[in-house]
Amino acid sequence: MSKRVLVTGASRGIGRAIASRLAKSGWLVAIHYNRRVEEAAEAARELGSACTGLHAMDLSNPSNADALIADVLTNGPLDAVVNNAGIYLHQDFVECSDNDFEVAFRQVMAVNFESPLRLTRAACKHFVKQGQGKVLNVASRVGFKGEAGAAVYAASKSALINLTRSLAVELAGKNIQCFAIAPGWVDTAMVRPEVESRLPEILSGLPLGRMASAEDCAAAASFLLSDEACYLSGIAIDINGASYFH
């Protein structure tokens, strides 16, 4: 019997690639999206019968997390959650206005950390009842490595990594595994505007000579959620082209 996974932010980019890779590996996939209705519908068409539903929810409001999990569970049991939805806002920590800082801080932390935390908690209540489950968090290289202009984003991803580690220890006895992937530069629509002006600089810091693709991230995610990773938990796999070690 196929297992079922919820992938947040699955209408494009890394989330869509993960959804596609997992479907090809035999998973049933629930697709979450926020505003990109047409792209989400296209992703669902690509998955065909492996898609168990489209679930619209604004995760900039973390109180929506319980409702999203409840909505997904109306279509059947859930075996894994991929917390992929995230936002990146470049910001000068000192020079930005107080109002701009507060808005960015609350939005980034809500989408990148608090919503995944609450989604994980809601899903794990279900996992405990059924006796097993997996959580995969999409973090970032900057969760380990500081980067100018990304202080709040880095803080949100660092928090996500350490949530992964702590829950891996706490929930191991309940047969729940927790993982993260930590991509560096990935060629997706979210970062393309910044990449266009910094491409030579970015590539100079990547020993493998190219940015990651969304499919590179999906391959690591698929491995972690597979039975082959049954003895792994609490790890964050770096996907950064040998650009950073820790």
Q: Is 222 helix (H, G, I), strand (E, B) or coil?
A: helix
Tokens of 241: 């082209």
Cα 191 from Cα 185, distance rounded (Å): 8
Q: At what angle do helices 115-130 and 151-171 cross, to 10 degrees?
A: 10
**36, 55 contact by CB (below 8 A):** no
Cα 128 from Cα 135, distance rounded (Å): 13
What are the angstrom distances between the C-alpha of 217 and each of 113, 175, 227? 19, 25, 18
Q: Nearest 10 degrees: CA dihedral of 100, 103, 107, 109? A: 90
Which of the following is catalytic: 88, 153, 231, 244? 153
The total number of residues shown for the chain amounts to 246
Q: Is 153 among the catalytic positions? A: yes
DSSP string, 7-64: ETTTTSHHHHHHHHHHHHTT-EEEEEESS-HHHHHHHHHHHGGGEEEEEE--TTSGGG
Residues recognised as catalytic:
153
